[in-house]
Amino acid sequence: MNDQGRSLYNAYRFVRASAILTLITLGGFIILAYLWMCLVSIKPGMIGIVYQKQGTTDPAGHFIVEKGYKGVQREVLMPGWNFFWQTTFFMDITKENMIIVPKGKVGVLIAQDGRKLREGAVLAEDDEIDEKTGKLIQMGEKGIRKRILEPGTYPINTKYFAVELHDAVNIEPGKVGVLIRKIGDPAPAGQILVPRDSSYRGIIKEVLEPGIQYLHPYIYNWQIVDAVNIPAGKVGVLTRKIGKPAPVGTILVERNSEYQGIIKEVLEPGTYYINPYEFEVQTTPAISVADGFVGVMVAKTGKPAPEDQLLVEEGYRGVQKKYLKPGLYYINPYEFDIIPVETRKQKYEMASAASGGDEAADELTFLSNDGFKISIDVTVIYEITPENAPYIVATLGKNLEDVKTKIIRPGSRSFARLEGSLLKAVDFVTGETRKTFQDKLAQSLQAEGARSRVNIVNTFVRGYVIPEELLEPLRLKEIAEKQKDRIIEEQKREEEQAKLARQKALVEQQSQKINAETAKIVAETKAEQEKGVAIIKGEQILAVAKLEREAAEQEKLKQIALGEGEARRRELLIKADNLEELRLNIYKDVMSRFASEIGKQKWVPDMVIGGQASPGSGFSNAISDVINMLNLMVANQLRTQTFKPPESVQNVGGKPELLPTLPETK
């Protein structure tokens, strides 16, 4: 191959390569352009409604179609990038905002296309969608759909649906909503309320409680009424207005039954959401049993009570054995009657007409044995114990005044007439007869009360009304007896005064006699005392002389002791001390004899009669004082005359005074 051929070949290769590159570039651009035409971007909060320009026509003639058919596609494009293998050249895409249902509103869907609405139907059926695949099984009906939209944001195909906004139902606290279904099949004959989940039209049995309710305005109407409020201390009695008639003889029915009538269960204090078309509510006071009382229960419903039983158990009609203690009870008044029975002590007074009582009812009057009319005032204290309260209600009835009129009063009258006719009228004047009559009346009433299970605590007869024609002679007799007693008392008092005067004169005379005798005795005693004192004084002088003599001897011994040795001197001093002790003993002996002589003297008279003191008693006391003073002086002198040491003895030239000088007795 020459150079020209080679150049042509190279040029060919270059052109071919350029052409291939151009074709590749053009092909890539075409592909990119195609892919771009297959992508659709939807912004957040918006949807894309697709209209397919090509394809087969929907067989049913709907303009809302599924994929593959020509027309408005049922499904919409969601926010984001959406890819189509067929380019958007064959379709139109309209971007619209999503449907927003605000709070407090409800959205109603109205289908612009779909199957023909059933004959007689008001609401159209919704689309039937396969939950697993999401594919349409059957298109819904054209018209107002049953489905509603609660508050929120929805990707609704506005070509397929129109959306109407309606107010939701707002039920405030203390209110209740009653629903009425406007569409559906007629309810069975006689049925007023229908279940909410049924297809019947009419008043819905279930009610709406407080809150926001999202209801289909084309299906329901509603009424907002007050809820049932049972205040404190009250009880609510329900009466079902609808349902089957209750069996014959049935007074109360169960709430969950299907019968008309009064409901056995009651409503305690609180708020209740009750359908006023189903129930009527009657508010009555709750049963309050106060302190000091019990509540006896009388059942109005239940099985008949056995003939041989006065009190019955629960489930039978009649007076129940069980009773209510003090407290608050929520009891159906159509099920029980509650009879309050006071269990505290009670007082019943039966007074005569003269005392202000009810003569026809309360007066206790009887004839005495001697034909006089006697009236008495009686007070009876009685009580009913809790365990006996049901028995008393069963025997006496609901009126507990019968305890007085059927037990206490007849028993008192019967006893008074029987016992009173055995006594004379005058017997009721004295206290002993009255007490006996009262005690017997109390015993009789206690026995009568025990038979009726009423505890008679005390019985008092407060007064007797006795005829005046009987009291007047007794009153005069009593006055005369009191005057007689007064005169006798005065006589006794005068006699006592005279007797006291005589005794006083006798005492004065005796006193004078005693004074004279006492003066004589004192004079004689004084002479004897002076004689004794003189004798004692002489003996004392002799004793002192003897002691002085002994003291001189002692002094002599001491002088001898001074000239001898120290040992001899000490020995003699010891002897001298012994002599000192001897001297003291002698003196004590003298004083003892002196006291003995004094004691032998007769200082006071042998006998003192009367309330006056003896004149000699003062003299005796004076002598005793002298003796005591003498003893004290001698004792003091002895304590001061202690033994002097030898040096003192040597320095004193005179005779030591070993004994004190006794004071001269005058």
Give pLDDT tens digits for 401-451.
999 999 999 999 999 999 988 888 878 876 688 889 999 999 999 999 999
pLDDT over 60 (residue 115): yes
433 membership: H or E segment, kind and range: helix 431-452
Does residue 366 form part of some domain? Answer: yes
Does residue 360 form part of some domain? Answer: yes
Helix %, strand %, coil % for the chain, to 5? 40, 30, 30
At 313 the pLDDT is 93
Say whether both 278 and 293 belong to one domain.
Answer: no
Last residue of a domain, one of 285, 307, 330: 285
Last residue of a domain, one of 304, 323, 340: 340
At 580 the pLDDT is 60
Spatial contact of 111 and 140, defined as CB atoms under 8 Å apart: yes
pLDDT over 90 (residue 657): no
Spatial contact of 275 and 228, defined as CB atoms under 8 Å apart: no
At 264 the pLDDT is 95
Does residue 13 form part of some domain? Answer: no
C-alpha 322/C-alpha 312 separation (Å) is 9
Does residue 32 form part of some domain? Answer: no
Spatial contact of 451 and 374, defined as CB atoms under 8 Å apart: no
Say whether both 459 and 381 belong to one domain.
Answer: yes
C-alpha 568/C-alpha 565 separation (Å) is 5
Say whether both 312 and 404 belong to one domain.
Answer: no
Task: Label residue 146 by pLDDT band (50, 70, 90).
Answer: very high
Cβ partners under 8 Å of residue 162, min gap 6 = 109, 110, 112
Give pLDDT tens digits for 474-509.
667 778 778 888 888 888 888 888 888 888 888 888
Say whether both 640 and 534 belong to one domain.
Answer: yes
Does residue 118 form part of some domain? Answer: no
Say whether both 301 and 261 belong to one domain.
Answer: no
At 654 the pLDDT is 41
Say whether both 296 and 354 belong to one domain.
Answer: no
Does residue 374 form part of some domain? Answer: yes
Does residue 26 form part of some domain? Answer: no
Say whether both 562 and 615 belong to one domain.
Answer: yes
C-alpha 114/C-alpha 126 separation (Å) is 9
Q: Which of 610, 435, 594, 582 is nearest to 512 (CA)?
A: 610
Task: Label residue 590 by pLDDT band (50, 70, 90).
Answer: low
pLDDT over 80 (residue 614): no
The amino acid present at 23, given as its one-letter code, is: L
How many independent structural domains does the chain possess?
A: 4
pLDDT over 60 (residue 552): yes
Task: Label residue 562 by pLDDT band (50, 70, 90).
Answer: low
Last residue of a domain, one of 450, 466, 482: 466
Say whether both 359 and 323 belong to one domain.
Answer: no
The amino acid present at 179, given as its one-letter code, is: L
Say whether both 554 and 621 belong to one domain.
Answer: yes
Lowest mean pLDDT among 79-88, 94-103, 508-517: 79-88
Range of the domain at 582: 524-651
CB atoms inside a 10 Å sphere around CB 98 = 17
**CATH code for the domain in which residue 456 is found:** 3.30.479.30
Does residue 458 form part of some domain? Answer: yes
Say whether both 273 and 335 belong to one domain.
Answer: no
Say whether both 312 and 243 belong to one domain.
Answer: no
- 159-184: average pLDDT: 96
Give pLDDT tens digits for 72-95.
999 999 998 876 655 556 788 899
- pLDDT, the chain, mean: 81
Quote the tokens at residue 63. Answer: 């303009």
Question: Would the pTM count as exceeding 0.85?
Answer: no
Say whether both 370 and 421 belong to one domain.
Answer: yes
Give pLDDT tens digits for 6-54.
777 777 777 778 888 888 887 777 666 666 666 788 899 999 999 988 8
Cβ partners under 8 Å of residue 345, min gap 6 = 381, 382, 383, 457
Quote the tokens at residue 288. Answer: 């309050």
pLDDT over 80 (residue 653): no
